[in-house]
Amino acid sequence: MISTKDNCLFVHIPKVAGQSIELFFVERMGLSWQQRESLLLRANNDPELGPPRLAHLYADEYVKYDYVSQREFDSLFKFSFVRNPWSRLVSEFTYRKALGHKQYQQGFKHFVLESFPTPNRDVHKTGVDHYRHVVPQSRFLYDAEGNCLVDFIGRFEALHEDFEAICNRLNIENAILPHKNATTDLSRARTWLSKVLGKQSSKRISPHYSTYYCSETIDFVRSYYHEDIERFGYQFEQM
Angle at the Cα of 41 from the Cα atoms of 27 and 6, rounded to 5 degrees: 50
In a domain, 195, yes or no: yes
Go through 62-72 and write b for each residue having 16 or more CB atoms within 10 A of its CB, e for each that does not. Answer: bbebebbeeee
Rounded CA separation 180/61 (Å):
25
Question: What pLDDT is stored for residue 135 in this prediction?
Answer: 97
Provide the number of structural domains found in the chain: 1
**Cα distances (Å, whole numbers) of residue 60 to 73, 149, 151, 167, 237:** 9, 7, 13, 23, 32
* Cα 210 to the center of its chain, rounded Å: 20
CATH number of the domain enclosing 54: 3.40.50
Question: What pLDDT is stored for residue 122 in this prediction?
Answer: 76
In a domain, 239, yes or no: no
Rounded CA separation 18/103 (Å):
24
Helix H, strand E, coil C: the string for 72-120 is HHHHCEEEEEECCHHHHHHHHHHHHHHCCCHHHCCCHHHHHHCCCCCHH
| pLDDT tens, residue order, the chain (239 aa) | 999 999 999 999 999 999 999 999 999 999 999 999 999 999 999 999 999 999 999 999 999 999 999 999 999 999 999 999 999 999 999 999 998 887 788 999 999 999 999 888 778 877 778 999 999 999 999 999 999 999 999 999 999 999 999 999 999 998 999 876 655 454 444 443 344 344 444 445 789 999 999 999 999 999 999 999 999 999 998 76
Question: What pLDDT is stored for residue 13 in this prediction?
Answer: 98
- Residues 27 and 81: beta-carbon distance below 8 Å: no
Give this prediction's pTM.
0.88
Go through 19-34 and write b for each residue having 16 or more CB atoms within 10 A of its CB, e for each that does not. Answer: bbbbbbbbeeeebeee
Range of the domain at 12: 2-232
In a domain, 238, yes or no: no
In a domain, 146, yes or no: yes
DSSP secondary structure code for residue 134 in this structure? T
Rounded CA separation 164/173 (Å):
9
Burial of 88 (0-12, 13-18, 19+ CB in 10 A): buried
In a domain, 106, yes or no: yes
In a domain, 237, yes or no: no
